[in-house]
Structure 1
Amino acid sequence: MSSPELIIDVLRTQLRAAGITYRTLAERIGMSESSVKRLFGQKDMALSRLAQICQAAGIGMDDVLRRATDARPQADTLTLPQEKSLVSKPRLLLVAICCLGHWSLEQVVETYALTEAECIGFLAELDRLGFIELKPLNRYSLRMSNAFRWLPDGPVQHFFREHAVEDYFSGRFDGAGEALMCLPAQLSLASAQELNQKIGQLAADLARLHRHDRRLGAGERDGYTLLLGFRSWEFAAFTALRRT
Protein backbone atom coordinates (compact mmCIF):
# COMPACT_ATOMS: atom_id res chain seq x y z
CA MET A 1 0.00 0.00 0.00
CA SER A 2 1.43 3.39 -1.00
CA SER A 3 1.72 6.35 1.38
CA PRO A 4 -1.32 8.21 -0.13
CA GLU A 5 -3.41 5.06 0.21
CA LEU A 6 -2.29 4.66 3.82
CA ILE A 7 -3.22 8.26 4.58
CA ILE A 8 -6.72 7.77 3.14
CA ASP A 9 -7.11 4.49 5.01
CA VAL A 10 -6.07 6.10 8.31
CA LEU A 11 -8.37 9.06 7.68
CA ARG A 12 -11.29 6.70 7.02
CA THR A 13 -10.55 4.85 10.27
CA GLN A 14 -10.36 8.12 12.21
CA LEU A 15 -13.72 9.25 10.81
CA ARG A 16 -15.33 5.97 11.85
CA ALA A 17 -13.85 6.29 15.35
CA ALA A 18 -15.32 9.80 15.59
CA GLY A 19 -18.73 8.54 14.42
CA ILE A 20 -18.69 10.70 11.29
CA THR A 21 -20.40 9.15 8.26
CA TYR A 22 -19.83 10.07 4.62
CA ARG A 23 -23.20 11.85 4.68
CA THR A 24 -22.25 13.93 7.72
CA LEU A 25 -18.89 14.79 6.23
CA ALA A 26 -20.49 15.74 2.91
CA GLU A 27 -22.80 18.19 4.67
CA ARG A 28 -19.88 19.77 6.53
CA ILE A 29 -17.70 20.34 3.45
CA GLY A 30 -20.48 21.18 1.00
CA MET A 31 -20.25 18.13 -1.25
CA SER A 32 -22.68 15.38 -2.18
CA GLU A 33 -22.38 12.05 -0.37
CA SER A 34 -21.59 10.27 -3.64
CA SER A 35 -18.74 12.72 -4.35
CA VAL A 36 -17.27 12.08 -0.91
CA LYS A 37 -17.44 8.32 -1.50
CA ARG A 38 -15.63 8.73 -4.83
CA LEU A 39 -13.04 10.91 -3.07
CA PHE A 40 -12.25 8.15 -0.62
CA GLY A 41 -12.31 5.54 -3.36
CA GLN A 42 -9.36 7.21 -5.10
CA LYS A 43 -5.76 6.29 -4.33
CA ASP A 44 -4.68 9.85 -3.68
CA MET A 45 -6.00 13.05 -2.13
CA ALA A 46 -4.78 16.64 -2.40
CA LEU A 47 -3.32 18.04 0.82
CA SER A 48 -5.76 20.95 0.67
CA ARG A 49 -8.68 18.50 0.58
CA LEU A 50 -7.14 16.43 3.38
CA ALA A 51 -6.77 19.57 5.51
CA GLN A 52 -10.40 20.56 4.78
CA ILE A 53 -11.74 17.15 5.80
CA CYS A 54 -9.63 17.03 8.97
CA GLN A 55 -10.81 20.49 9.99
CA ALA A 56 -14.46 19.64 9.30
CA ALA A 57 -14.19 16.40 11.27
CA GLY A 58 -12.19 17.85 14.15
CA ILE A 59 -9.31 15.48 13.45
CA GLY A 60 -5.69 16.56 13.65
CA MET A 61 -4.04 16.39 10.24
CA ASP A 62 -0.64 15.85 11.87
CA ASP A 63 -2.09 12.89 13.76
CA VAL A 64 -3.41 11.35 10.52
CA LEU A 65 -0.02 11.73 8.82
CA ARG A 66 1.84 10.34 11.82
CA ARG A 67 -0.45 7.30 12.06
CA ALA A 68 -0.01 6.68 8.33
CA THR A 69 3.78 6.79 8.74
CA ASP A 70 3.63 4.39 11.69
CA ALA A 71 1.41 1.99 9.72
CA ARG A 72 3.71 1.86 6.69
CA PRO A 73 5.51 -1.50 6.41
CA GLN A 74 9.22 -1.12 7.12
CA ALA A 75 12.06 -3.52 6.48
CA ASP A 76 14.59 -4.74 9.04
CA THR A 77 17.23 -5.47 6.38
CA LEU A 78 18.01 -4.81 2.76
CA THR A 79 18.18 -7.55 0.16
CA LEU A 80 21.52 -8.82 -1.14
CA PRO A 81 21.13 -6.96 -4.48
CA GLN A 82 20.27 -3.74 -2.60
CA GLU A 83 23.40 -3.96 -0.45
CA LYS A 84 25.52 -4.76 -3.50
CA SER A 85 24.17 -1.62 -5.16
CA LEU A 86 25.22 0.45 -2.14
CA VAL A 87 28.79 -0.83 -1.88
CA SER A 88 29.30 -0.50 -5.63
CA LYS A 89 29.14 3.28 -5.13
CA PRO A 90 30.89 4.37 -1.90
CA ARG A 91 29.37 7.87 -2.10
CA LEU A 92 25.90 6.32 -2.35
CA LEU A 93 26.70 4.22 0.73
CA LEU A 94 27.85 7.39 2.50
CA VAL A 95 24.53 9.13 1.81
CA ALA A 96 22.63 5.99 2.89
CA ILE A 97 24.49 5.96 6.22
CA CYS A 98 23.77 9.67 6.63
CA CYS A 99 20.08 8.91 6.04
CA LEU A 100 20.19 6.28 8.79
CA GLY A 101 21.44 9.09 11.05
CA HIS A 102 18.62 11.39 9.82
CA TRP A 103 20.95 13.91 8.20
CA SER A 104 19.32 16.56 6.08
CA LEU A 105 20.39 17.25 2.50
CA GLU A 106 21.90 20.54 3.68
CA GLN A 107 24.01 18.79 6.33
CA VAL A 108 25.40 16.24 3.89
CA VAL A 109 26.38 18.94 1.38
CA GLU A 110 27.82 21.12 4.15
CA THR A 111 29.97 18.27 5.48
CA TYR A 112 31.09 16.34 2.41
CA ALA A 113 32.45 17.25 -1.03
CA LEU A 114 29.17 16.55 -2.79
CA THR A 115 27.20 19.08 -4.79
CA GLU A 116 23.52 19.53 -4.02
CA ALA A 117 22.66 18.03 -7.42
CA GLU A 118 24.82 14.95 -6.73
CA CYS A 119 23.26 14.48 -3.31
CA ILE A 120 19.72 14.79 -4.71
CA GLY A 121 20.66 12.20 -7.32
CA PHE A 122 21.84 9.81 -4.60
CA LEU A 123 18.64 10.38 -2.62
CA ALA A 124 16.63 9.58 -5.74
CA GLU A 125 18.66 6.40 -6.20
CA LEU A 126 18.05 5.40 -2.57
CA ASP A 127 14.34 5.99 -3.18
CA ARG A 128 14.45 3.63 -6.18
CA LEU A 129 16.26 1.05 -4.06
CA GLY A 130 13.48 1.24 -1.47
CA PHE A 131 15.83 2.53 1.24
CA ILE A 132 14.05 5.87 1.70
CA GLU A 133 10.90 7.59 0.47
CA LEU A 134 11.87 10.88 -1.16
CA LYS A 135 9.46 13.72 -0.42
CA PRO A 136 8.98 17.27 -1.72
CA LEU A 137 11.76 19.80 -1.04
CA ASN A 138 14.27 16.92 -0.99
CA ARG A 139 13.11 15.69 2.40
CA TYR A 140 12.80 11.96 3.01
CA SER A 141 11.61 9.30 5.41
CA LEU A 142 13.34 5.99 6.04
CA ARG A 143 11.70 2.82 4.78
CA MET A 144 13.79 0.91 7.32
CA SER A 145 12.50 -0.06 10.76
CA ASN A 146 14.09 0.88 14.08
CA ALA A 147 15.44 -2.69 14.18
CA PHE A 148 17.33 -2.22 10.90
CA ARG A 149 20.65 -4.02 10.56
CA TRP A 150 23.01 -4.78 7.71
CA LEU A 151 22.92 -8.32 6.36
CA PRO A 152 25.08 -10.65 8.49
CA ASP A 153 28.30 -11.25 6.56
CA GLY A 154 26.75 -9.29 3.68
CA PRO A 155 28.33 -6.79 1.27
CA VAL A 156 28.14 -3.80 3.62
CA GLN A 157 29.68 -5.72 6.54
CA HIS A 158 32.47 -6.88 4.23
CA PHE A 159 32.99 -3.27 3.12
CA PHE A 160 33.23 -2.09 6.73
CA ARG A 161 35.69 -4.84 7.67
CA GLU A 162 37.92 -4.03 4.72
CA HIS A 163 37.83 -0.24 4.85
CA ALA A 164 36.55 0.98 8.22
CA VAL A 165 37.28 -1.23 11.21
CA GLU A 166 41.10 -0.99 11.25
CA ASP A 167 40.99 2.74 10.54
CA TYR A 168 38.42 3.30 13.29
CA PHE A 169 40.23 1.35 16.02
CA SER A 170 43.63 2.82 15.17
CA GLY A 171 42.63 5.92 17.13
CA ARG A 172 43.66 6.64 20.73
CA PHE A 173 40.08 7.17 21.99
CA ASP A 174 41.37 9.80 24.44
CA GLY A 175 39.75 12.88 22.96
CA ALA A 176 36.91 14.87 24.51
CA GLY A 177 33.76 12.77 24.46
CA GLU A 178 35.57 9.64 23.21
CA ALA A 179 35.51 6.20 24.79
CA LEU A 180 36.59 2.64 24.04
CA MET A 181 35.33 -0.26 26.14
CA CYS A 182 35.48 -4.03 25.80
CA LEU A 183 33.33 -5.59 28.51
CA PRO A 184 32.94 -9.38 28.79
CA ALA A 185 29.92 -10.83 30.60
CA GLN A 186 28.08 -14.10 31.19
CA LEU A 187 24.46 -13.54 30.09
CA SER A 188 21.32 -15.49 29.42
CA LEU A 189 19.68 -15.16 26.01
CA ALA A 190 16.94 -13.01 27.56
CA SER A 191 19.51 -10.64 29.06
CA ALA A 192 21.40 -10.44 25.77
CA GLN A 193 18.18 -9.52 23.97
CA GLU A 194 17.42 -6.87 26.59
CA LEU A 195 20.84 -5.30 26.07
CA ASN A 196 20.37 -5.45 22.30
CA GLN A 197 17.20 -3.37 22.70
CA LYS A 198 19.14 -0.82 24.76
CA ILE A 199 21.74 -0.62 21.97
CA GLY A 200 18.90 0.23 19.59
CA GLN A 201 17.78 2.96 21.97
CA LEU A 202 21.34 4.30 22.13
CA ALA A 203 21.38 4.56 18.34
CA ALA A 204 18.06 6.42 18.49
CA ASP A 205 19.52 8.80 21.10
CA LEU A 206 22.47 9.51 18.81
CA ALA A 207 20.09 10.40 15.96
CA ARG A 208 18.07 12.63 18.33
CA LEU A 209 21.15 14.53 19.52
CA HIS A 210 22.31 14.88 15.92
CA ARG A 211 18.99 16.48 14.95
CA HIS A 212 19.08 18.72 18.03
CA ASP A 213 22.58 20.03 17.29
CA ARG A 214 21.78 20.90 13.68
CA ARG A 215 20.90 24.40 14.90
CA LEU A 216 24.52 24.98 15.94
CA GLY A 217 27.10 26.46 13.60
CA ALA A 218 29.55 24.20 11.77
CA GLY A 219 32.38 25.38 14.04
CA GLU A 220 30.47 24.18 17.11
CA ARG A 221 30.05 20.60 15.83
CA ASP A 222 32.50 17.80 15.07
CA GLY A 223 32.13 14.43 13.37
CA TYR A 224 31.58 11.54 15.78
CA THR A 225 30.93 7.92 14.84
CA LEU A 226 29.40 5.29 17.12
CA LEU A 227 30.56 1.80 16.12
CA LEU A 228 28.72 -0.90 18.04
CA GLY A 229 29.12 -4.64 18.04
CA PHE A 230 27.56 -7.17 20.39
CA ARG A 231 27.96 -10.91 19.88
CA SER A 232 28.75 -14.21 21.57
CA TRP A 233 32.54 -14.05 21.44
CA GLU A 234 35.69 -14.17 23.54
CA PHE A 235 39.21 -13.15 22.59
CA ALA A 236 41.14 -16.34 21.77
CA ALA A 237 43.98 -15.44 24.15
CA PHE A 238 41.44 -15.18 26.98
CA THR A 239 39.74 -18.43 26.02
CA ALA A 240 43.11 -20.18 26.32
CA LEU A 241 43.21 -19.13 29.98
CA ARG A 242 39.86 -20.72 30.87
CA ARG A 243 39.84 -23.47 33.43
CA THR A 244 39.17 -26.91 31.99
Structure 2
Amino acid sequence: MSTTADLVTALKKELKHAQMTYADLARAMGMAESSVKRMLAKGEMSLSRVDAICRALKLDFAELARKVADNQPLLAELTQAQERAVVANKKLLLVAICVLSQWTLEQITSAYRISQAEAIVCLAQLDRIGIIELRPLNRYRLKLAKTFRWRAHGPVMEFFRDEVLLDYYAGGFDGPGEGLLLVHGEVSRSLAPAFMERLQRVAQDFAQQHLADQKLPTSEREGYTLLLAMRSWEFAAFAALRR
Protein backbone atom coordinates (compact mmCIF):
# COMPACT_ATOMS: atom_id res chain seq x y z
CA MET A 1 0.00 0.00 0.00
CA SER A 2 1.35 3.45 -0.93
CA THR A 3 2.15 5.96 1.82
CA THR A 4 2.74 9.70 2.11
CA ALA A 5 6.47 8.95 2.00
CA ASP A 6 5.99 7.24 -1.37
CA LEU A 7 4.12 10.29 -2.64
CA VAL A 8 6.87 12.66 -1.51
CA THR A 9 9.52 10.42 -3.09
CA ALA A 10 7.61 10.49 -6.37
CA LEU A 11 7.30 14.29 -6.23
CA LYS A 12 11.04 14.65 -5.64
CA LYS A 13 11.74 12.40 -8.64
CA GLU A 14 9.45 14.53 -10.78
CA LEU A 15 11.21 17.71 -9.63
CA LYS A 16 14.58 16.22 -10.54
CA HIS A 17 13.26 15.01 -13.90
CA ALA A 18 11.89 18.50 -14.64
CA GLN A 19 15.22 20.02 -13.50
CA MET A 20 13.24 22.21 -11.10
CA THR A 21 15.02 23.35 -7.93
CA TYR A 22 13.36 23.96 -4.58
CA ALA A 23 13.82 27.67 -5.27
CA ASP A 24 11.98 27.33 -8.60
CA LEU A 25 9.15 25.42 -6.89
CA ALA A 26 8.95 27.98 -4.09
CA ARG A 27 8.54 30.83 -6.60
CA ALA A 28 5.85 28.90 -8.51
CA MET A 29 3.94 28.25 -5.28
CA GLY A 30 4.48 31.68 -3.76
CA MET A 31 6.28 30.24 -0.75
CA ALA A 32 9.65 30.67 0.91
CA GLU A 33 12.27 28.16 -0.25
CA SER A 34 12.90 27.12 3.37
CA SER A 35 9.18 26.32 3.78
CA VAL A 36 9.21 24.15 0.65
CA LYS A 37 12.31 22.28 1.84
CA ARG A 38 10.75 21.73 5.28
CA MET A 39 7.45 20.58 3.78
CA LEU A 40 9.11 17.99 1.54
CA ALA A 41 11.53 16.88 4.26
CA LYS A 42 8.75 16.21 6.77
CA GLY A 43 6.32 14.89 4.18
CA GLU A 44 3.52 16.87 5.80
CA MET A 45 1.36 18.59 3.21
CA SER A 46 -2.29 19.00 2.40
CA LEU A 47 -3.89 17.83 -0.83
CA SER A 48 -4.05 21.46 -1.93
CA ARG A 49 -0.25 21.66 -1.56
CA VAL A 50 0.15 18.45 -3.58
CA ASP A 51 -2.12 19.92 -6.27
CA ALA A 52 -0.05 23.12 -6.29
CA ILE A 53 3.18 21.15 -6.77
CA CYS A 54 1.55 19.16 -9.59
CA ARG A 55 0.48 22.40 -11.29
CA ALA A 56 4.02 23.75 -11.01
CA LEU A 57 5.29 20.54 -12.58
CA LYS A 58 2.47 20.54 -15.18
CA LEU A 59 1.69 17.05 -13.92
CA ASP A 60 -1.80 15.60 -13.53
CA PHE A 61 -2.47 14.24 -10.03
CA ALA A 62 -3.87 11.01 -11.51
CA GLU A 63 -0.59 10.51 -13.37
CA LEU A 64 1.34 11.10 -10.14
CA ALA A 65 -0.83 8.55 -8.32
CA ARG A 66 -0.21 6.04 -11.11
CA LYS A 67 3.56 6.53 -10.81
CA VAL A 68 3.37 6.03 -7.05
CA ALA A 69 1.42 2.79 -7.58
CA ASP A 70 3.91 1.61 -10.22
CA ASN A 71 6.75 2.00 -7.74
CA GLN A 72 5.13 -0.22 -5.12
CA PRO A 73 6.95 -3.54 -4.50
CA LEU A 74 5.48 -6.46 -6.44
CA LEU A 75 4.19 -9.55 -4.66
CA ALA A 76 6.14 -12.81 -4.83
CA GLU A 77 3.20 -14.72 -3.33
CA LEU A 78 -0.27 -14.09 -1.93
CA THR A 79 -1.53 -14.69 1.58
CA GLN A 80 -3.70 -17.69 2.45
CA ALA A 81 -6.73 -15.39 2.64
CA GLN A 82 -6.01 -13.89 -0.79
CA GLU A 83 -5.68 -17.34 -2.37
CA ARG A 84 -8.89 -18.56 -0.70
CA ALA A 85 -10.70 -15.59 -2.20
CA VAL A 86 -9.37 -16.47 -5.66
CA VAL A 87 -10.48 -20.12 -5.60
CA ALA A 88 -13.86 -19.37 -4.03
CA ASN A 89 -15.29 -18.69 -7.51
CA LYS A 90 -14.22 -20.66 -10.62
CA LYS A 91 -14.86 -17.72 -12.95
CA LEU A 92 -12.73 -15.51 -10.72
CA LEU A 93 -9.95 -18.12 -10.76
CA LEU A 94 -10.19 -18.31 -14.55
CA VAL A 95 -9.90 -14.53 -14.89
CA ALA A 96 -6.98 -14.57 -12.42
CA ILE A 97 -5.15 -17.12 -14.58
CA CYS A 98 -5.90 -14.96 -17.64
CA VAL A 99 -4.50 -11.79 -16.09
CA LEU A 100 -1.36 -13.69 -15.09
CA SER A 101 -0.96 -14.19 -18.85
CA GLN A 102 -1.68 -10.47 -19.40
CA TRP A 103 -4.91 -11.08 -21.32
CA THR A 104 -7.10 -8.08 -22.08
CA LEU A 105 -10.77 -7.92 -21.13
CA GLU A 106 -11.66 -8.43 -24.79
CA GLN A 107 -9.51 -11.57 -25.04
CA ILE A 108 -11.11 -13.06 -21.92
CA THR A 109 -14.70 -12.47 -23.03
CA SER A 110 -14.06 -13.65 -26.59
CA ALA A 111 -12.37 -16.88 -25.47
CA TYR A 112 -14.73 -17.87 -22.62
CA ARG A 113 -18.44 -17.78 -21.85
CA ILE A 114 -18.02 -14.85 -19.51
CA SER A 115 -19.95 -11.67 -20.16
CA GLN A 116 -18.21 -8.32 -20.13
CA ALA A 117 -20.09 -7.38 -16.96
CA GLU A 118 -19.00 -10.61 -15.23
CA ALA A 119 -15.40 -10.11 -16.33
CA ILE A 120 -15.36 -6.53 -15.05
CA VAL A 121 -16.72 -7.68 -11.68
CA CYS A 122 -13.92 -10.28 -11.54
CA LEU A 123 -11.30 -7.65 -12.38
CA ALA A 124 -12.67 -5.45 -9.61
CA GLN A 125 -12.42 -8.39 -7.18
CA LEU A 126 -8.83 -9.08 -8.24
CA ASP A 127 -8.09 -5.41 -7.63
CA ARG A 128 -9.49 -5.67 -4.09
CA ILE A 129 -7.58 -8.89 -3.47
CA GLY A 130 -4.36 -7.17 -4.56
CA ILE A 131 -3.44 -9.11 -7.70
CA ILE A 132 -3.99 -6.20 -10.08
CA GLU A 133 -4.47 -2.46 -10.04
CA LEU A 134 -7.58 -1.76 -12.12
CA ARG A 135 -7.27 1.29 -14.34
CA PRO A 136 -9.63 3.30 -16.57
CA LEU A 137 -11.21 1.54 -19.57
CA ASN A 138 -10.89 -1.77 -17.68
CA ARG A 139 -7.16 -1.97 -18.22
CA TYR A 140 -4.97 -3.14 -15.36
CA ARG A 141 -1.46 -3.39 -13.99
CA LEU A 142 -0.33 -6.75 -12.66
CA LYS A 143 0.99 -6.37 -9.10
CA LEU A 144 2.83 -9.70 -9.04
CA ALA A 145 6.58 -10.14 -9.41
CA LYS A 146 8.14 -12.22 -12.18
CA THR A 147 9.14 -14.67 -9.45
CA PHE A 148 5.51 -15.01 -8.30
CA ARG A 149 4.44 -18.51 -7.25
CA TRP A 150 1.26 -19.87 -5.72
CA ARG A 151 1.80 -21.03 -2.15
CA ALA A 152 3.15 -24.61 -2.15
CA HIS A 153 0.38 -25.86 0.17
CA GLY A 154 -2.03 -22.99 -0.31
CA PRO A 155 -5.65 -23.02 -1.51
CA VAL A 156 -4.81 -22.58 -5.21
CA MET A 157 -2.31 -25.46 -5.40
CA GLU A 158 -4.68 -27.66 -3.37
CA PHE A 159 -7.41 -26.86 -5.89
CA PHE A 160 -5.16 -27.84 -8.79
CA ARG A 161 -4.08 -31.05 -7.08
CA ASP A 162 -7.70 -32.03 -6.43
CA GLU A 163 -9.36 -30.76 -9.60
CA VAL A 164 -6.80 -30.31 -12.37
CA LEU A 165 -3.89 -32.79 -12.28
CA LEU A 166 -5.86 -35.85 -13.38
CA ASP A 167 -7.44 -33.88 -16.21
CA TYR A 168 -4.01 -32.63 -17.30
CA TYR A 169 -2.38 -36.07 -17.29
CA ALA A 170 -5.32 -37.64 -19.08
CA GLY A 171 -3.93 -36.26 -22.35
CA GLY A 172 -1.77 -38.32 -24.68
CA PHE A 173 1.03 -35.73 -24.86
CA ASP A 174 1.53 -36.82 -28.48
CA GLY A 175 0.43 -33.70 -30.36
CA PRO A 176 2.70 -31.17 -32.11
CA GLY A 177 4.92 -29.48 -29.56
CA GLU A 178 3.75 -31.82 -26.77
CA GLY A 179 5.67 -34.27 -24.65
CA LEU A 180 5.76 -35.97 -21.28
CA LEU A 181 9.10 -36.90 -19.75
CA LEU A 182 9.46 -38.92 -16.58
CA VAL A 183 13.03 -39.38 -15.42
CA HIS A 184 14.04 -41.02 -12.16
CA GLY A 185 17.55 -41.11 -10.81
CA GLU A 186 19.83 -40.55 -7.86
CA VAL A 187 22.06 -37.48 -7.92
CA SER A 188 24.14 -35.59 -5.41
CA ARG A 189 22.06 -33.56 -2.97
CA SER A 190 24.35 -30.60 -3.69
CA LEU A 191 23.49 -30.73 -7.43
CA ALA A 192 19.71 -31.04 -7.08
CA PRO A 193 19.18 -27.26 -6.58
CA ALA A 194 21.10 -26.58 -9.80
CA PHE A 195 18.65 -28.74 -11.77
CA MET A 196 15.76 -26.88 -10.15
CA GLU A 197 17.28 -23.57 -11.24
CA ARG A 198 17.40 -24.84 -14.83
CA LEU A 199 13.73 -25.76 -14.65
CA GLN A 200 12.91 -22.31 -13.32
CA ARG A 201 14.78 -20.74 -16.24
CA VAL A 202 12.77 -22.85 -18.69
CA ALA A 203 9.57 -21.65 -17.02
CA GLN A 204 10.75 -18.01 -17.26
CA ASP A 205 11.70 -18.45 -20.92
CA PHE A 206 8.23 -19.86 -21.61
CA ALA A 207 6.53 -16.96 -19.81
CA GLN A 208 8.66 -14.35 -21.61
CA GLN A 209 7.95 -15.94 -25.00
CA HIS A 210 4.25 -15.87 -24.20
CA LEU A 211 4.43 -12.10 -23.64
CA ALA A 212 6.55 -11.55 -26.75
CA ASP A 213 4.12 -13.51 -28.94
CA GLN A 214 1.08 -11.49 -27.86
CA LYS A 215 1.69 -9.26 -30.88
CA LEU A 216 1.08 -12.21 -33.24
CA PRO A 217 -2.40 -12.85 -34.70
CA THR A 218 -4.52 -15.27 -32.67
CA SER A 219 -4.46 -17.71 -35.59
CA GLU A 220 -0.69 -18.08 -35.21
CA ARG A 221 -0.78 -18.84 -31.46
CA GLU A 222 -1.71 -22.01 -29.60
CA GLY A 223 -2.39 -22.41 -25.88
CA TYR A 224 0.06 -24.64 -24.05
CA THR A 225 0.46 -25.43 -20.37
CA LEU A 226 3.98 -26.14 -19.17
CA LEU A 227 4.21 -28.18 -15.97
CA LEU A 228 7.65 -28.57 -14.41
CA ALA A 229 8.34 -30.43 -11.20
CA MET A 230 11.15 -32.05 -9.29
CA ARG A 231 11.02 -33.58 -5.84
CA SER A 232 12.53 -36.32 -3.69
CA TRP A 233 9.81 -38.94 -4.12
CA GLU A 234 9.08 -42.63 -4.58
CA PHE A 235 5.80 -44.14 -5.69
CA ALA A 236 4.01 -45.35 -2.55
CA ALA A 237 3.43 -48.82 -4.00
CA PHE A 238 7.18 -49.17 -4.58
CA ALA A 239 8.12 -47.71 -1.21
CA ALA A 240 5.92 -50.34 0.43
CA LEU A 241 8.16 -53.05 -1.07
CA ARG A 242 11.38 -51.63 0.35
CA ARG A 243 13.24 -53.82 2.84
User: Does TM, normalized by the shorter one, top 0.5?
Assistant: yes
Alpha-carbon deviation of 1:201?
3.6
Counterpart position of 1:188: 189
Alpha-carbon deviation of 1:235?
3.3
Alpha-carbon deviation of 1:7?
5.9
The 3 A distance-change label for structure 1 pair 218 and 231 is: same
Contact 1:146 1:200 in 2 (8 A): no
Counterpart-to-counterpart distance in 1, 2:57 and 2:144: 28
Alignment of 1:198-209 (within 5 A): 198-209=198-209
Contact 1:105 1:116 in 2 (8 A): yes
Counterpart position of 1:231: 231
Contact 2:80 2:155 in 1 (8 A): yes
* TM-score, structure 2 as length reference: 0.73
The 3 A distance-change label for structure 1 pair 192 and 51 is: farther
The structure number with the bigger radius of gyration is 2
Counterpart position of 1:127: 127
Alpha-carbon deviation of 1:156?
1.4
Alignment of 1:1-244 (within 5 A): 1-2=1-2, 6=6, 8-13=8-13, 15=15, 21-25=21-25, 30-32=28-30, 37=36, 41=45, 52=58, 65=67, 69=70, 71-185=71-185, 186-189=187-190, 191-236=191-236
Q: Which amino acid counterpart does residue 157 of structure 1 have in structure 2?
A: M
Counterpart-to-counterpart distance in 1, 2:109 and 2:125: 17
Contact 2:77 2:151 in 1 (8 A): yes
Alpha-carbon deviation of 1:181?
1.5
Q: What is the number of residues matched between the two proteins?
A: 230
Q: Which amino acid counterpart does residue 144 of structure 1 have in structure 2?
A: L
Alpha-carbon deviation of 1:17?
9.4
Contact 1:133 1:140 in 2 (8 A): yes
Structure 1 residues without counterparts, runs of 5 or longer: 54-60
Alpha-carbon deviation of 1:2?
1.8
The secondary structure found in structure 1 opposite 2:141 is: strand
The 3 A distance-change label for structure 1 pair 238 and 218 is: same
Structure 2 residues without counterparts, runs of 5 or longer: none
Q: Which amino acid counterpart does residue 181 of structure 2 have in structure 1?
A: M
Greater mean deviation of Cα atoms: 160-169 or 110-119: 110-119
Contact 1:75 1:144 in 2 (8 A): yes
C-alpha RMSD of matched pairs (Å): 3.9
Alpha-carbon deviation of 1:134?
1.2
The 3 A distance-change label for structure 1 pair 220 and 42 is: farther
Contact 2:78 2:151 in 1 (8 A): yes
Alpha-carbon deviation of 1:6?
3.5
The secondary structure found in structure 2 opposite 1:99 is: helix
The secondary structure found in structure 2 opposite 1:72 is: coil
The 3 A distance-change label for structure 1 pair 151 and 177 is: same
The secondary structure found in structure 1 opposite 2:133 is: strand
Q: Which amino acid counterpart does residue 85 of structure 1 have in structure 2?
A: A
The 3 A distance-change label for structure 1 pair 94 and 217 is: same
